[in-house]
Structure 1
């Protein structure tokens, strides 16, 4: 029996072993693998079309040196999309509702973009910390503010993904609980609640797709500033 609504976000255990890593590795099994045949099946063709279209649109505003990140960004998009959507199935666990997991994705990739900027264009990267024409008295304050805004980017990435998915799962849990409570008491109200639950579930599917795209898009924007 569920003690709290937030228990759905705790990592499940099997024989004392946390199943977090298993939940993160399972989406790769569902992805089709390339074959040596001349013609691919429909699923693999659809996947390749989606990856090509997404990568082309994502790398369109980025300079040529940033195109080396195409494989990393496309793989991250597919991985986050699979985790978010699989977490909507019954009796499943969503690793992307854990802040530690999202920060583990966000911090190394953000740090990679920053290090690339300092290696390739150190003067321009340092110039971002101080706008041109700043009065002399405001220089220390603005440097501190810009440094904090730079360091808070990976935290904002992780918190955004965690908060959106957690809020959607909580709303679905609350409304479904109300549906089962109202079903024997007021069937008409329960029917309206069930319709609301269906619409919210469809919205949560859209949120799962959009948040994975936004996560990768923001990383590409950070990369664009440093290449």
Structure 2
């Protein structure tokens, strides 16, 4: 990156804010531009400071993190939002995705992975913690009936062979760089294919692509 990623921390726990601030403050390519103790203050600061990425807690006073995320996603130039929480319950994962979050991490995620997530999300690559992904996929497998599976198969059927390969790789949790290496493509080419997948599958993020792939049982068929 040619410039620092501007980060806003929104969490009602001052110790968490302090720990995140110290961790991020030591990075040459990350700048903490502000902190807020609740969702309403976080929204106001995001409007004033225009951060690239917001680290958003879920359970906060005045305005919870999911509602605050939804408000920010409706802004003309919304920041990227990573929901950072101690709770790994599936309703929180799904709630964060429904609110438009670009990432979901647990607070016990190692610092190096949090930093990596911030950098990836800032560059336009949504992320989920491995445990959150497992939770989500397990729920999809439990709830998907024959009708949803058939619909997912129908949606995948419109893809070209290469687009399907990229979709399966996304469903397998690979990053753009990992997909590029495995399919012998450039990263910009992978990004172009992912953009086409959004259009053809009617999705807005990589997790929704993964859900479609898993509902169709496409990975199981490989």
Q: Provide the TM-score with structure 2 as the length reference.
A: 0.29
Q: Which has the higher helix share?
A: 1
Higher relative contact order (Cα pairs below 8 Å, separated by 6+ residues): 1
Max Rg structure = 1
Q: Provide the TM-score with structure 1 as the length reference.
A: 0.29
Q: Which has the higher strand share?
A: 2
